[in-house]
């Protein structure tokens, strides 16, 4: 999760696509040049553990956009694919 947050902050599309599960991976990631990711807070985790089949991570990703602060609060699902953890999907928490 932390590495994907850092990749969003750096706009590292190849890394994000490589760590996205093939069944839900988009063709490209449209980055917003006005958006700057500044901090990640992991709220909690649940699931099978480091070698299990699926896990969830609840997080708050803080950003600034046009000088205004905001946050994305999400539950993300990760699953193992080819012996690596991959992002499957997420549900935004309001």
CA distance 77 to 13: 19
Could you tell me if 29 and 17 are in contact, meaning their C-beta atoms sit under 8 angstroms apart?
yes
Q: Report domain extents, the chain.
A: 2-92
Tokens of 40: 């990640």
CA distance 38 to 15: 19
Indicate whether 1 pLDDT > 90: no
Helix (H) or strand (E) holding 39: strand 35-47
Mean residue pLDDT of the chain comes to: 93
pLDDT confidence band for 18 (50 / 70 / 90):
very high
C-alpha of 21 from chain center: 12
CA distance 36 to 25: 22
Correct CATH for 2-92 of 3.40.50.150, 3.10.450.50, 3.40.47.10, 3.40.250.10: 3.10.450.50
CA distance 81 to 21: 7
Indicate whether 52 pLDDT > 70: no
Say what the pLDDT of residue 77 is: 95
Say what the pLDDT of residue 50 is: 62
Predicted structure pTM score: 0.89
Residue pLDDT, tens place only, 31-41:
999 999 999 99
Residue pLDDT, tens place only, 57-84:
999 999 999 999 999 999 999 999 998 9
């Amino acid at each position: 999760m932390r590495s994907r947050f850092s990749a969003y902050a750096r706009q590292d599309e190849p890394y994000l696509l490589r760590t996205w599960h093939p069944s839900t991976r988009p063709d490209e990631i449209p980055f917003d040049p006005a958006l700057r990711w500044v901090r990640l807070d992991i709220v909690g985790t649940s699931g099978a553990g480091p070698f299990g089949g699926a896990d969830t991570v609840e997080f708050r990703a803080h950003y600034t956009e046009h000088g205004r602060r905001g946050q994305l609060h999400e539950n993300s699902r990760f699953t193992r694919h080819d012996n690596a953890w991959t992002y499957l999907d997420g549900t935004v928490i309001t």
